[in-house]
Chain A
Amino acid sequence: MLDKNGIAQRIAQELQDGTYVNLGIGIPTLVANLVPEGMQVEFQSENGILGMGPFPSDDEVDADLINAGKQTITALAGAVYFDSATSFAMIRGRHVQLTVLGAMEVSQSGDIANWKIPGRLVKGMGGAMDLVASADNIVVAMMHTNKRGESKLLPSCSLPLTGVGCVRRVVTNLAVLDICDGAFHLVERAPGVSVDDIKAATAGVLIAPSSVPEMQL
């Protein structure tokens, strides 16, 4: 079973050379530190920067330079700042190739819910609805089950949706799964996790080939 850093390490294998990538808040943020050596990937943060760098040192901190999670950041050589309308033109116009984001629930048809629990928690969708509606490749990074041990991979989402039919791949603490033809297709197992473990933790339709390789981290 993976921890959050392990999930981020596996997500990092989804990065492709020469692409622009948007990382959501939480586990996806960790991916920024795990770009394979020699690979060129530029990170977009939807509040208005391309070329996001690591967190600043204490004396580099600038209140005017933050990421979409409101964390202080730095800008790499070649970075650029822009306004919110331009930022979402990049996203809506499909100039950002990969979006990695967290989720509360994902359905076997690729629906995602991550912005609201009616009557209990309302944070808002931020840029998530724009991102999932437009990116060509959307990967969800999340734990396989919630804090009560219930599956987050469902036949259909019970929470208000963020987007429909948009998620292509899910990376969890237990597995890598692709979504197509209304089912979760098991691609890889986390180290030490059996196919039966994954079946037990997946409420939606799960299709597993006779042999499922273990993740190579």
Chain B
Amino acid sequence: MALDKTVSGVEAACQGIEDGMTVMLGGFGLCGIPECSIGELARLGVKDLTCISNNAGVDDFGLGLLLKARQIRKMIASYVGENDEFERQMLSGELDVDLIPQGSLAERCRAGGAGIPAFFTPAGFGTEIAEGKEVRQFDGKPHILESALTADFAIVKAWKGDTAGNLIFKATARNFNPAMAMAGGITIAEVEELVPAGALDPNQIHTPGIFVQRIFQGAHYERRIEQRTISTASSNK
């Protein structure tokens, strides 16, 4: 019988997240971010967090909310260009930042969840991100050793989920969510639609429920768009 992973809501889901913890958050830009849980972290006021997420939100949405409230001590990300407050805190030294290549970030999360402590990748060889890392040649090409990432909590956002924690993502909102779901000590999944176990087609599930410890149906999704680009008649010609 499928294990029941449901919790009553966002408050129960985020229970146990404390000052100084490491938290992974899915999403790319503002696409596929766990909006409800970020709101709860802001409300709780937990601080000195190490956050692992591809981006840092924008000034007034996503992880930008936690940055503005000075709840994040260290940020591990690959691209932070859309957040002025982030850049200010980083350049002034208030925020500790570890920028790593996007593919290495994804693979380090996947490795963390898959029981692989480290792997070699060509990305970043000869750059400052390779400093202090072991270099080894494979097929005549230099690679650097990257270690796995795990977190006390991983928080992901899915389109649909069932009570067993199985998840289906929509379009490019999938991004970092599946790899991070694997790497959390406790993985929280917030979903737009929560259905009973058995209601989803097992052939269509992206993240198996074994990687998810807590699931709840979120509410009031803003699903904000960063760059609303529209085809006009002239641009299609």
- A interface list, Cβ under 8 A from B: 33, 45-49, 54-58, 61-67, 69-73, 75, 81-85, 87-88, 91-92, 111, 119-130, 133-134, 160-165
C-alpha spacing A134/B91, complex, angstroms: 31
With beta carbons under 8 angstroms apart, the residue of B31, B32, B231 that contacts A54 is B231
Which residues of A are found within 8 Å of B109, using beta-carbon distances? 85
C-alpha spacing A119/B110, complex, angstroms: 32
Is B216 located at the chain interface by the 8 A CB criterion?
no
C-alpha spacing A48/B171, complex, angstroms: 8
Which residues of B are found within 8 Å of A127, using beta-carbon distances? 78, 101-103
B88, chain A: closest CB distance, angstroms: 11
Q: Which of A73, A130, A160 has most chain B Cβ within 10 Å?
A: A130
The answer to whether A48 and B174 have CB atoms under 8 Å apart is yes
Which residues of A are found within 8 Å of B20, using beta-carbon distances? none
A187, chain B: closest CB distance, angstroms: 26
The answer to whether B123 and A134 have CB atoms under 8 Å apart is yes
The answer to whether A55 and B230 have CB atoms under 8 Å apart is yes
- B interface list, Cβ under 8 A from A: 28-32, 54, 77-82, 87, 90-91, 97, 99, 101-107, 109-110, 121-129, 159, 169-179, 206, 223-231, 235-236
With beta carbons under 8 angstroms apart, the residue of B127, B173, B224 that contacts A160 is B127
Q: Which of A55, A133, A163 has most chain B Cβ within 10 Å?
A: A133
Q: Closest residue of chain A to B128, judged by CB?
A: A160
Known: A70-B30, A125-B129. 9 other contacts (CB 8 A): A64-B159, A65-B171, A84-B179, A85-B109, A126-B102, A129-B124, A133-B123, A162-B127, A164-B126
With beta carbons under 8 angstroms apart, the residue of A87, A126, A134 that contacts B122 is A134
The answer to whether B125 and A47 have CB atoms under 8 Å apart is no
CB-based A-B contact count at 8 angstroms: 181
Do A47 and B172 contact each other (CB < 8 Å), given the known contacts A124-B78, A130-B104?
A: yes
Which residues of B are found within 8 Å of A124, using beta-carbon distances? 77-81, 99
Q: Which of B106, B109, B177, B226 has most chain A Cβ within 10 Å?
A: B106
The contact sample of 6 A-B pairs, CB cut-off 8 A, is: A66-B29, A66-B226, A82-B174, A85-B179, A124-B79, A133-B125
Which residues of B are found within 8 Å of A83, using beta-carbon distances? 106, 169, 174-179, 206
Main secondary structure of the interface of B (DSSP, over half): loop
The answer to whether A71 and B174 have CB atoms under 8 Å apart is no
With beta carbons under 8 angstroms apart, the residue of B123, B178, B231 that contacts A56 is B231
A110, chain B: closest CB distance, angstroms: 11
Which residues of A are found within 8 Å of B30, using beta-carbon distances? 63, 70
The answer to whether B106 and A84 have CB atoms under 8 Å apart is yes
Which residues of A are found within 8 Å of B231, using beta-carbon distances? 54-57
Q: Closest residue of chain B to A58, judged by CB?
A: B230
The answer to whether A64 and B123 have CB atoms under 8 Å apart is no
The answer to whether A49 and B172 have CB atoms under 8 Å apart is yes
The answer to whether B122 and A92 have CB atoms under 8 Å apart is yes
Which residues of A are found within 8 Å of B177, using beta-carbon distances? 83
Which residues of B are found within 8 Å of A134, using beta-carbon distances? 122-123
The answer to whether B178 and A64 have CB atoms under 8 Å apart is no
Which residues of A are found within 8 Å of B126, using beta-carbon distances? 111, 161, 163-165
C-alpha spacing A82/B177, complex, angstroms: 11
